[in-house]
Amino acid sequence: MNVRDQARAIGDAVLYEGYLLYPYRASAGKNRVRWQWGVLVPPSYASAEIGEHSSARVECLLEPSDHTVLHVKLRFLQTRTQDSTWDEAVEHEIDFELPLAELPAERPFQVPGDGQRTHELSGVLTARADPLDGPFGGTRLRVDVHNTTSWPSDGVRRHALRHALLAAHLVLSVDTGHFLSMLDPPEWAKPAVETCRQERLWPVLIGDTSRSTVVLASPIILYDDPAIAPESPGDLFDGTEIDEILTLRTMTLTDEEKREARATDPRAAAIVDRVDTMPPELLERLHGAIRSVRPAGPSVTVAGVRVAEGSRVRLRPNLRGADAQDMFLIGKTATVRVVLSDVDGATHVAVTLDDDPGADLQHAHGRYRYFSPDEIEPLEVAE
């Protein structure tokens, strides 16, 4: 997947975060309070006192070339009234091409409405680029989005949302040059990073985590180089949840509840249909994957003894702060399957229990119990 496709995939997750939550029915209380992320309301409804705003800003650092062109993709949802209890969403994308040499620039935009189910939206995008002080070059890029829609406010949020930009975010890209990480910038850029100001948007590098040609300006704070889990079979509209839990919960819905969910929204119907026809092997994939550990090497030395794949050990788990289930493993023997290191450099020994009849199956699926080297006692050394 190239960086632009990756940015779109993450942007889609942001676009529909919280759009529709389990149990995916319009009658559910949680689905009557919607549109929490990236909401830019019309100016007549905006108020800092109630936490509603009509604009957003992102600032990030760019190392441009002589002829860099900034491409900005503004993405958001617009509500489409379905009935008195439910509003659907219409996706919008607006593209801007802004040569850096022509900044500052201001670009108005409009989204037509049909006068009944959707309402006309208007806004303006502004951009500017300011050279950084010092000998290292670089530019501070600032992009603002404003909802300028005219609407005589009646003070009702649900009505204001029909004139709002929802889940608004930006994809910034350059044809030449590159953006710098705001989380882990080079040393010379750290003072400039500290002066950057973010308002309801957060810049995230897509692709390379030190420099990239694409930045996602997200209303949800993310780490650099975010990615959709490859095990995820489709949208559940809650990117912070666990797919397996939501899938199993959806399976427990009654036929009547599923009918109501299908009638709520086409996207809810797609979830229920996908869960109803999900094959067992796909559900098995959702059980989880470990990505934060890596092989530490072929072995680790414990009490002067080399412990590696195939070594037999006795478990002596430290019960303070550990899983309570570990008390049942004290003194049991196990076979080492792999020695791993996590992102902090700590070593973990992955084992299967010798008296577990499913040990070989667990090994085949890569499911182990993990212990630190001080929680095992070597019995036999692997050949």
Per-residue model confidence as pLDDT tens digits over 257-311:
999 999 999 999 999 999 999 888 777 777 666 566 666 678 899 988 999 999 9
Both 96 and 210 in one domain: the answer is yes
Residues 196 and 309 in one domain: no
The first and second tokens of residue 148, run together, are: 């300028």
Residues 96 and 222 in one domain: yes
Residue 271 covered by a domain: no
Amino acid code (one letter) for 37? W
CA atoms within 13 A on the CB side of 55: 12
pLDDT band at 171 (very low <50, low <70, confident <90, very high): very high
Alpha-carbon gap, residue 175 to 70, rounded angstroms = 7
Tens digit of pLDDT for each residue in 337-350? 999 887 677 899 99
With beta carbons less than 8 A apart as the criterion, state whether 296 and 339 touch.
yes
Burial of 120 (0-12, 13-18, 19+ CB in 10 A): middle
Give per-residue burial for 145-168: e unless 16+ CB within 10 Å, then b: bbbbbebeeeeeeeebbbbbbbbb
Residue 15 lies inside a defined structural domain of this protein: no
Q: How many domains does the chain have?
A: 2
Please check whether residues 219 and 338 belong to one and the same domain.
no
Rounded to whole angstroms, the Cα distance separating 45 from 50 reads: 10
Considering 228, 260, 281, which residue would you say is the last residue of a domain?
228
pLDDT at residue number 207: 86
Q: Is residue 107 part of a domain?
A: yes
Q: Give yes or no: residues 51 and 140 share one domain.
A: yes
Same domain, 68 and 194: yes
Q: How much is the mean pLDDT over the chain? A: 89
Residue 210 belongs to what domain range? 35-228
Annotate 40-102 with three-state secondary structure. Answer: ECCCCCCECCCCEECEEEEEEEEECCCCCEEEEEEEEEEEEECCCCCEEEEEEEEEEEEEHHH
Most confident of 23-27, 196-200, 278-282: 196-200
Q: Identify whether 95 is part of a domain.
A: yes
Residue 164 lies in a domain: yes
pLDDT digits (tens, 9 = 90+) for 115-130: 789 999 999 999 999 9
267 in any annotated domain: no
Q: What is the pLDDT of residue 355?
A: 93
Is residue 81 located within the same domain as residue 218? Answer: yes
Last residue of a domain, one of 180, 202, 228: 228
Same domain, residue pair 298 and 163: no
* Per-residue pLDDT at 321 exceeds 70: no
- Distances from the Cα of 7 to the Cα of 37, 143, 239, 262, angstroms: 18, 18, 15, 29
**118 within some domain:** yes
Shared domain check, 81 and 180: yes
Using the 3D structure, point to which of 228, 245, 280 is the last residue of a domain. 228
pLDDT, tens only, 232-242: 778 888 876 67
Q: Clarify whether residues 85 and 220 are in a common domain.
A: yes
- Provide the CATH number for the domain around residue 319: 2.30.30
170 and 53 assigned to the same domain: yes
Identify the DSSP state of 331. T
> Does residue 255 fall inside a structural domain?
no
Euclidean distance between CA atoms 184 and 326, whole angstroms: 38
Which of 12-16, 90-94, 221-225, 362-366 shows the lowest per-residue confidence on average (mean pLDDT)?
A: 362-366
- The model's confidence at residue 381, banded by pLDDT at 50, 70 and 90, is low
For residues 202 and 308, membership in a common domain is answered with no
